[in-house]
Amino acid sequence: MILVYSHKITPRLTYIFRQIFIRILELPVDFTSTIEKFVSHSGPKISYTHQPLGKEFFIASHDLLFQQGIQEVEVEVSNWSGTPAFFKLSKDSQLPFDIFAASFYLMSRYEEFLPHVKDELGSFLPHQSLAAKNNFLELPLIDLWALRLKDKLYEFFPELPHISWNKPTFQPIVSVVNPYQYKHKSLLLKVVDSLQSIWSLNLFSLIEQYLVILGFRQDPYANFDALEKLFKVTGVQPIYFFLFSEISFFDQGVSIYNNRFRNLIKHTADSHKVSLLASHAGQQESKKIIDECQQLNELIHRKIDFLRFNYNLLSASSGYYQLLENGIQEDYSMGYREVLGYRASTAVPFYFYDLNNDLQTALKIFPIVAQEEGLRSYSNEKAFQKLLNLYEALPTRSAFHGVSFSNAILNPNEENKSFREQFLNYLKSHARKE
């Protein structure tokens, strides 16, 4: 066990140290603010404070982990042997940067609690992030820092246990907003679809719509049987999230009272993990989340204790409080819709830290590195090559490679052929062998 000494043991300090040592590096850690206990400890030990006590493994501390509340923090990103880093330290420190304070800043989503501009949905925009501004959005930067720390620790403490390497977890996520492109929609939405096709002079779409409605053609989004076969062949276990809410301006799916839709969800839940794709309104109102969870629970007869937000997490400073109020234990929304990368600068699942009350919560967050909208902004080949590169570059076996796509990804139409084939190849590359 590694013993950590600091002049003050705070919730922020224990939160980020446990994340780095236990969840990322898989090394046990404990804490003390008693110098005598630290000095008498015979195993590996680290001091994290303002000045070294002796010749121990010392890391100088930035003030962030000892502060309370939310305040402006000066961040200047520089280079640490080819890796971005910030919160530079004195020469006495074993590391040139305080990776614990920097990791806390990134993982807690500190910048999302500070004033920022939002889009029409109320989202924190990726280009505002420190990661995007300094070109490390596609790096699991905290995990890379942790590995550098581990290398330094092994030099100092060769008796530390070595962890065997396993491939990180790949987790496909199916986000079902519209199970059907044309069928089983309300008359109003069918009319809207027709008018949009006419307005854009898309005659093919208009003809396709009526061929599907009249039963002469399969709905392009109704690909659940094909997905089922694909997952069965590859041995990959997906998680399905269904939008199951009243139709609104932001959430225009199928009515929750439609029997075909309800049967589809129940059938999918017979074979796979199924949960709620919470609506845009649900991210704003606790009561809305309660209603949606209850309605889905009554349909599939399972407690809804994990979910994902439609449109992803809008802002960490607001959205997660709705989940905490409703006892949700896991979230799969920590990512960006339109760009690939690590919103919290880590690929390892972590617990949400409530900066307003300065405490770690029980809500576990699973990072999402990419979703279909972001992938489609690249050429088809480049999109999945980037995805493969991101996976191969994961530095720890504790990492989670979460990728979200819709049921429409297997759309049989000719214009989707190349993207569909690239997706199939990517999924097959992750096939699980017996």
Amino acid at 126: P
Q: What are 278's strand-pairing partners? A: 309
What letters, b where the CB count within 10 A reaches 16 and e where it falls short, cover 295-320? bbeebbeeebebbbbbbbbbbbbebb
Q: What is the pLDDT of residues 343-356, one digit of tens each?
A: 999 999 999 999 99
- Model pLDDT, residue 58: 96
**Which amino acid is residue 80, in one-letter code?**
W
Contact (CB, 8 A) for 414 and 220: no
- To which residue do tokens 């989340």 refer? 289
Measuring CA to CA, how many Å separate 388 from each of 66, 274, 423? 39, 26, 11
Pick 169-181+219-429's CATH classification: 3.60.21.10, 1.10.357.10, 3.20.20.140, 3.20.20.370: 3.20.20.370
In this prediction, residues 34-49 reach a mean pLDDT of 94
362-375: pLDDT as tens digits: 999 999 999 999 99
First to last CA, the chain: 35
Which residues, including other chains, have CB under 8 Å from residue 291's CB and lie 6 or more apart?
Answer: none
The pLDDT value given to residue 367: 98
CB 106 within 8 A of CB 346: yes
Q: What are phi and psi of 139, to 5 degrees?
A: -105, 135
Q: How confident is the model at residue 227 (pLDDT cuts 50, 70, 90)?
A: very high
What is the rounded CA–CA span in Å between residue 404 and residue 386? 15
CA distance 309 to 277: 5
What's the sign of the alpha-carbon dihedral 214, 218, 222, 224? Answer: positive
Confidence category of residue 434, pLDDT binned at 50, 70, 90: very low
Task: Tell me the per-residue pLDDT of 355-412, one tens digit each, with 9 for 90 and over.
Answer: 999 999 999 999 999 999 999 999 888 999 999 999 999 999 999 999 999 999 999 8
What is the distance of C-alpha 167 from the center of its chain? 18
Sequence length of the chain is 434
Give the pLDDT confidence score for residue 186 in this predicted structure: 55
**How far is residue 425's CA from residue 385's CA, in Å, rounded to a whole number?**
11
Q: How far apart are CA 339 and CA 376, in angstroms?
A: 10
Tens of pLDDT, residue by residue over 105-126, are 999 999 999 988 888 888 999 9
Q: Which of 11-15, 103-107, 162-166 has the lowest mean pLDDT?
A: 162-166
**Three-state secondary-structure class, residue 372:** helix
Fill in the DSSP letter of residue 219: -
Q: To the nearest whole number, what is the mean pLDDT of the chain? A: 91
Percent of the chain with pLDDT over 70: 92
pTM: 0.92
Write out pLDDT tens, residues 202-219: 656 666 665 666 666 788
For the segment 186-210, the average pLDDT, to the nearest whole number, is 61
Return the percentage of the chain with pLDDT > 90, whole number.
73
What pLDDT, on a 0 to 100 scale, did the predictor assign at position 207? Answer: 63
The pLDDT of residue 380 is 85
**pLDDT on residue 34:** 96
pLDDT digits (tens, 9 = 90+) for 65-114: 999 999 999 999 999 999 999 999 977 899 999 999 999 999 999 999 99
Residue 31, SS3 per DSSP: strand
Sequence spans of domains, the chain: 2-156, 169-181+219-429
